[in-house]
Amino acid sequence: MRWYVIRRVAWAAVVAFVILTITFLFLEITPDQQVAQLQFQAAQSGGDPEAALDAYEQRRGLNQPLWDRYTEYVTNYVQGNWGWSDTRSEPVLDAIVASLPYSIMYSAPSIVISTVVGMGIGLYSALNQYTKTDYAATFVAFFGISIPNFWFGIMLLLIFGETLGWFPIIFQTSIADTQTFSLANLRQLFLPIVVLSTGAIAGNMRYARAEALEYVRAEFVKTARAKGATGWRMLSRHILRPTLVPLSTLLVGDLLGLLLASSLLVEVVFGIPGVGRLSYDAIINQDTDLVLGTVFIPVFISVVGNLLQDIAYTVLDPRISYGDR
């Protein structure tokens, strides 16, 4: 087992590296939008567009040959120097570390909520298929997933934030930093969490329901029933446990999400300076170093996540053996 894990982790590093290289190349190929703007400005004011272009390239370090830039960046990465973000004026690592907590603050609770609630409803629906409660739960879940997040967020802000005044409009990072677990912080995180949870519950619910349904009718559940097991016991021991095997793919994904998830739309609407905006702005502004940094972490972690998932599988389902992989 140990070797297996080590091999997989090493593989994860390789995959991450490959993806980084590809991202780097993509960034190279993409035409830079800011250049056109800058040149136009210069021309308009009677300046020299060429000089403006040169200044820009030089500032961004773009006038070095491709290979030099590439090798420089690789060595830096390995050493833990992830570069300097031009658009944030701070080291890339700082930028990521600074924005990550804000993302976690709203995404972790919403993932927990949507997973627990979603799966709970899903299991319940599986056992009580086609009852009114089943239909109601399905309706609510689909409502949540159909509503566009950003519109929902804006609506909630207008109604509960502006009209009713229950929640603040602006996200105050100072509160988030110093009073992370306080009521004040909860107040400003409440609406973003609600928006994200409602969207995710439906997915979890349907998936859990579908998987559980497969097992509800299973023979071994009948055996358990014949043994005299209670409904609750059947649910938790006999249905949930095997259901977890396929569900684990979702769960591990969710757990990773606890670390990494962020929703750009939610962050834009609520003004939260999280990882979503960081990544997006980096790409739009072609802040190469930052893009690479924000790509690297999720890639690496999701590769590791795949590994964790595989391990979870082998633990949860004794029929699966990892030996011959």
Partner 1 sequence: MSDPLISVKNLHTQFHTDDGTVRAVDGIDVDVSRGETVCIVGESGSGKTVTSESITKILQMPPGDIPIGEVQFRDVESVRELADQFPKRVFDVHEDDAPGTAGTDVPPEEDRPGDEKHFVIVEERSGDRISRGYIDMVRAPDNALRKIRGGDIAHIFQNPQSALNPVYTVGWQIVEAVQLHSDDDDEAARERAIDLLDRVGIPDAAARFDDYPHEFSGGMKQRVIIAMALASNPDVLIADEPTTALDVTIQAQILDLLAEIQEDLGMAILFITHDLGVVAEIADRVVVMYAGKVMESGEVFDLFESPAHPYTRALLECLPGRGGDMVSIGGSLPSVTNPPDGCRFAPRCPHAVDDCFTGDQPPMYSVEGADQEVSCVFYGDGYDESVVQTEFAAAQNRTARTDGGRTTGRRAGTDTDESVRSDGGDR
Partner 2 sequence: MPSGNEESDGVRQVWLPNRRNMLKMLGIGGAAALAGCSSGDPNDGDSTGTPAQTEDTNTDSTEGDSPDTSEAPQTTTTTEASREVSGDYVTGRGTDAVSLNLLGAAAADGESGDRIGSILDGAYGVTPDLEVFPLWADISTEDGKTYTVELRDNLQWGGDYGQMTAEDWVYMIQEVFQAEDNWTGYPNQSDWQRQDEWIPVEQTGELTFEIQLPQVDPAFPLKPVMWGQTAMPKGLIEKYRGDSDGEGLAQDEDVQTMAYAGNLGPYSLESWERESQFVGTRNEDYYMREAENVPEAWQGAPYFNSYTFQVIPEQSTRLSALRTGEITSTGIPTTQVQQFEQEESVEINVAPQAYMTSMIYNQRVNGNFYEVFRQKESRQALARAVNKETIANDILSGYATIAHTFQPKFSKWYSDETVVQTGVGDEYGAELAREMLEPTLEGTSYSYDGDRIVDGNGEQVTLNLVYAQGSDTTEDMNRFIAQEYDKIGLNVELQGLQFNSMLENYVSNSPSNNPDFSGEPEYAAGPYNGGNRDQSVSPEQWDIMTGIVFNTYPRTPSQTRDFVIKQGGINYYGYEPEADFASLYEEASTAVDESTRQEIYAEIFGLESEEQPFNFLNMGVAIGGYQNNVQGPKPEFGSGWDSNIWYFQQG
Positions that interact with partner 1 (CB under 8 A): 217-220, 222-231, 237-238, 241-242, 245, 316-319
Task: Give per-residue burial for 35-52: e unless 16+ CB within 10 Å, then b.
Answer: beebbeebeeeeeebeeb
Least spacing, CB of residue 131 vs partner 1, in Å: 9
Distance of CA 207 to the CA centre of its chain: 19
Pick from partner 2, partner 1, none: which does 112 bind, CB < 5 to 8 A by kind?
none
Which one among 112, 210, 260, 268 touches partner 2, defined by CB under 8 A? 268
Q: State the first-to-last Cα distance of the chain, in angstroms, to the nearest integer.
A: 11
Least spacing, CB of residue 62 vs partner 2, in Å: 11
Pick from partner 2, partner 1, none: which does 238 bind, CB < 5 to 8 A by kind?
partner 1
Among residues 41 and 131, whose Cβ is nearest to partner 2?
41
Quote the CA–CA distance of 180 and 110 in Å, as a whole number: 16
Quote the CA–CA distance of 48 and 41 in Å, as a whole number: 9
> Does residue 8 interact with partner 2 by CB under 8 A?
no
Pick from partner 1, partner 2, none: which does 224 bind, CB < 5 to 8 A by kind?
partner 1
Pick from partner 1, partner 2, none: which does 134 bind, CB < 5 to 8 A by kind?
none
Which one among 7, 11, 54, 75 touches partner 2, defined by CB under 8 A? 54
In SS3 terms, 120-138 reads as: HHHHHHHHCCCCHHHHHHH
Structure tokens at 320: 């699966």
Considering only CA atoms, which of 220, 248, 247 is closest in space to residue 234? 220
Least spacing, CB of residue 53 vs partner 2, in Å: 8
Quote the CA–CA distance of 188 and 3 in Å, as a whole number: 46
Do the Cβ atoms of 199 and 144 come closer than 8 Å? yes
Do the Cβ atoms of 47 and 323 come closer than 8 Å? no
Which one among 29, 80, 89, 181 touches partner 2, defined by CB under 8 A? 89
> Does residue 174 interact with partner 2 by CB under 8 A?
yes
Quote the CA–CA distance of 139 and 137 in Å, as a whole number: 5
Which one among 168, 224, 253, 312 touches partner 2, defined by CB under 8 A? 168
Which one among 17, 21, 49, 259 touches partner 2, defined by CB under 8 A? 49
Q: Which stretch binds partner 2 (CB under 8 A): 29-37, 73-81, 124-132, 221-229?
A: 29-37
Among residues 49 and 120, whose Cβ is nearest to partner 2?
49
Structure tokens at 256: 């990773």
Do the Cβ atoms of 104 and 177 come closer than 8 Å? no
Binding site for partner 2 (CB under 8 A): 31, 33-34, 36-52, 54-56, 58-61, 84, 86-91, 95, 98-99, 150, 154, 157-158, 161-162, 165, 168-174, 267-271, 273, 277-278, 281
